[in-house]
Amino acid sequence: MADQDDQPSRPAADIDPHLLAFLRTRVNSFIKWDLVRFFHENVNTVDTAENIARYTGRDVSAIAPALQELVEANVLNKQDVSGITVYMLTSDEATRALIQRFILACEDRQFRVKAMYYMVRGMA
Amino acid sequence: MIERKATGIAGLDAMLNGGFLPESAILVEGAPGTGKTTLGLQFIINGITACDEPGLILTFEEFPQQYYRDAAGFGWDLRALEAQDKLRVIMTSPEVTLADLKRTGGLLEQQAQAIGARRILVDSLSHFERIALDQRGEHDRLAFRETVFTFINALKRLGLTAILTWETATLLGGLAGEPGGKPVAYLVDGYILLRYVEIDSVMRKAMLVLKLRGSDHAKDIRQYEITPHGLVVESRFEGRQGIMSGNAVPSMAQAFDRAFGRPRRD
């Protein structure tokens, strides 16, 4: 029998509303979650979609659209460097602080379970 | 008196007459585990903590987290230095770096200017080999030379004194191997070799300053250790020859002494 704590009846109810909005509108897939964590941990990374795919152990066909959506969500910046498209973490301090809070919150298992539940429900 | 960029490794600085010359590019070549990155980290840490010279660490392939962890093992808190705007650990690829550095006001230039960086560790230069290919996808020696030449000049343009690491595949010896047989050795201002040496069935480490353009430097081969506080350069190898081949043998005098005993003077 599964642990009842793993099945929150109202997963979004006690998530910080700012983090909930971040999850719902900006990090609404597991690939984007991975990418946000990657850029948080390697904060000065500047690289192409192909190389970021290699660094995160994923296929570029999956990574490229997620990177673009994170750019549109102002989580990442995109730049053209002499014909090479590169991605980097946003320089916006407020967004960086929100990412920091999100990553810190993810260290708590209960938060992770709730966030994953919410994300799966949102993806359905 | 000429300004020097001390590495903070006392024995090495003594070999270098005080340190590297400003805006020079120094190649540090060695096998895995010989301490190339540690030497580079010490150079960066010493710049920040002892010389008020912020630094950049430019890494290809190796994740910044690895540097944070490795540095913490020596008691160096890279995250704290980043938070103080004294350091940036930048992960990128050679192709992006090269394209970026050719621009005016590129991303690396912005990062360097943002913290007033004066030193850089590039780990490692070997990765530039994979972008210097000919039309058949094979290594192009001329293209490689051109690529490294442009890269080094761009670092100098930014006012950075650089340590560039180069990993050799062979564990022992290989003095005539890469990059000695490649154009890199001619393009850099300084060239430090780190080697494993087998002596009496024990692996030791040897350091040699092969080249330091515009400056005198020690020519002898020194022993060194990687301690919990970083690299410590010790005395020269006494009574041995063939050190850089990786398999040192007693010198003629040492062999004579061993065979016949040291002559008594009384």
Asked if B26 contacts B34 with a C-beta cutoff of 8 angstroms, the reply is: no
Residues of B in contact with A45 (CB under 8 A): 64, 90-92
| Chain B nearest-CA residue for A54 | B61
Pick the more confident residue, B185 or B117.
Answer: B117
pLDDT at residue A4 greater than cutoff 50: no
- Confidence at residue B75, expressed as pLDDT on a 0 to 100 scale: 97
Whether A46 and chain B come into contact, CB under 8 Å, resolves to yes
- Confidence at residue B69, expressed as pLDDT on a 0 to 100 scale: 94
Average pLDDT estimate for B4-28: 97
The answer to whether the Cβ–Cβ distance between B92 and A55 falls below 8 Å is no
* CA-based max dimension of chain A: 57
- Report pTM: 0.86
The answer to whether the Cβ–Cβ distance between A45 and B64 falls below 8 Å is yes
Pick the more confident residue, B264 or B76.
Answer: B76
Amino acid at B115: I
- Confidence at residue A2, expressed as pLDDT on a 0 to 100 scale: 44
> What is the per-residue DSSP string for B33-68?
TSSHHHHHHHHHHHHHHHH---EEEEEESS-HHHHH
Whether A80 and chain B come into contact, CB under 8 Å, resolves to no
Least CB–CB distance from B91: residue in A44, A48, A81: A44
Task: Give how far B100 is from chain A: nearest CA, Å.
Answer: 6
> What is the per-residue DSSP string for B192-209?
EEEEEEEETTEEEEEEEE
Q: Tell me the residue length of chain B.
A: 266
Task: Give how far B94 is from chain A: nearest CA, Å.
Answer: 10
| Chain B nearest-CA residue for A42 | B64
Q: Tell me the residue length of chain A.
A: 124
pLDDT at residue A5 greater than cutoff 50: no
Question: What's A29's DSSP letter?
Answer: S
Residue from B199, B210, B49 nearest B119 by CA: B49
**pLDDT single digits (tens) B143-154:** 889 889 999 999
Residues of B in contact with A55 (CB under 8 A): 63, 91
- Confidence at residue B183, expressed as pLDDT on a 0 to 100 scale: 74
Whether A42 and chain B come into contact, CB under 8 Å, resolves to yes
Distance, in Å, from the CA atom of B88 to the CA atom of B67, rounded to the nearest integer, reads 11
Distance, in Å, from the CA atom of B125 to the CA atom of B131, rounded to the nearest integer, reads 11
CA distances from B179 to B30, B96, B210 (A): 10, 23, 13
Q: Which residue has the tokens 């509108």?
A: A25
**pLDDT single digits (tens) B198-217:** 888 888 999 999 999 999 99
The answer to whether the Cβ–Cβ distance between A48 and B96 falls below 8 Å is yes
Domain boundaries, chain A: 15-123
- Confidence at residue B114, expressed as pLDDT on a 0 to 100 scale: 96
**pLDDT single digits (tens) B239-264:** 777 777 666 777 666 666 766 666 55
| Chain A nearest-CA residue for B100 | A81
Distance, in Å, from the CA atom of B41 to the CA atom of B25, rounded to the nearest integer, reads 15
- Confidence at residue A78, expressed as pLDDT on a 0 to 100 scale: 97
Least CB–CB distance from A46: residue in B82, B103, B107: B107
Average pLDDT estimate for A97-102: 94
Least CB–CB distance from A82: residue in B64, B65, B99: B99
Distance, in Å, from the CA atom of B233 to the CA atom of B59, rounded to the nearest integer, reads 25
What lies within 8 Å, CB to CB, of B96 at 6+ separation is A46, A47, A48, A51, A81, A84, A86
pLDDT at residue B171 greater than cutoff 80: no
pLDDT at residue B142 greater than cutoff 80: yes
CA distances from B46 to A9, A63, B116, B125 (A): 55, 39, 15, 22
Q: pLDDT category, B185, cuts 50, 70, 90?
A: confident
**Probe site for chain A from B82, B90, B123, B131 (most A CB atoms < 10 A):** B90
Least CB–CB distance from A86: residue in B63, B88, B96: B96
Distance, in Å, from the CA atom of B203 to the CA atom of B194, rounded to the nearest integer, reads 13
Mean pLDDT, chain B, rounded, equals 88
Q: pLDDT category, A3, cuts 50, 70, 90?
A: very low
Distance, in Å, from the CA atom of B64 to the CA atom of B37, rounded to the nearest integer, reads 12
pLDDT at residue A6 greater than cutoff 70: no
The CATH number given to A15-123 is 1.10.10.10
Distance, in Å, from the CA atom of B188 to the CA atom of B207, rounded to the nearest integer, reads 18
Residue B131's φ and ψ, nearest 5 degrees, are: -105, 0
**pLDDT single digits (tens) A41-78:** 999 999 999 999 999 999 999 999 999 999 999 999 99
Sheet strands (E) in chain B: 25-30, 55-60, 87-92, 119-123, 161-167, 190-199, 202-212, 222-227, 230-236, 240-241, 249-250
Pick the more confident residue, B265 or A120.
Answer: A120
pLDDT at residue B58 greater than cutoff 60: yes
End-to-end CA distance of chain A: 24
Average pLDDT estimate for A38-42: 94
Distance, in Å, from the CA atom of B90 to the CA atom of B57, rounded to the nearest integer, reads 6
Distance, in Å, from the CA atom of B120 to the CA atom of B138, rounded to the nearest integer, reads 30
- Confidence at residue B202, expressed as pLDDT on a 0 to 100 scale: 87
What lies within 8 Å, CB to CB, of B113 at 6+ separation is none
- Confidence at residue B36, expressed as pLDDT on a 0 to 100 scale: 96
Q: pLDDT category, A21, cuts 50, 70, 90?
A: confident
Q: pLDDT category, B174, cuts 50, 70, 90?
A: low
Residues of A in contact with B111 (CB under 8 A): 44
Residues of B in contact with A88 (CB under 8 A): 107
Q: Name the interface residues of B facing A (CB cutoff 8 Å).
A: 63-65, 82, 88-93, 95-96, 99-100, 102-103, 106-107, 111
**pLDDT single digits (tens) B85-105:** 999 999 999 999 999 998 889
Q: How many CA atoms lie less than 13 Å away from B169 in the CB half-sphere? A: 2
Task: Give how far A47 is from chain B: nearest CA, Å.
Answer: 5
- Confidence at residue A120, expressed as pLDDT on a 0 to 100 scale: 80
Give, in words, the CATH class of B10-238: alpha beta
Pick the more confident residue, B28 or B200.
Answer: B28
- Confidence at residue B176, expressed as pLDDT on a 0 to 100 scale: 44
Q: Across the A/B interface, how many CB contacts are shorter than 8 Å?
A: 57
Domain boundaries, chain B: 10-238
What lies within 8 Å, CB to CB, of B30 at 6+ separation is B36, B165, B166, B167, B168, B193, B194, B195
| A1 CB-contact burial (10 Å; exposed 0-12 / middle 13-18 / buried 19+) | exposed
Task: Give how far B112 is from chain A: nearest CA, Å.
Answer: 12
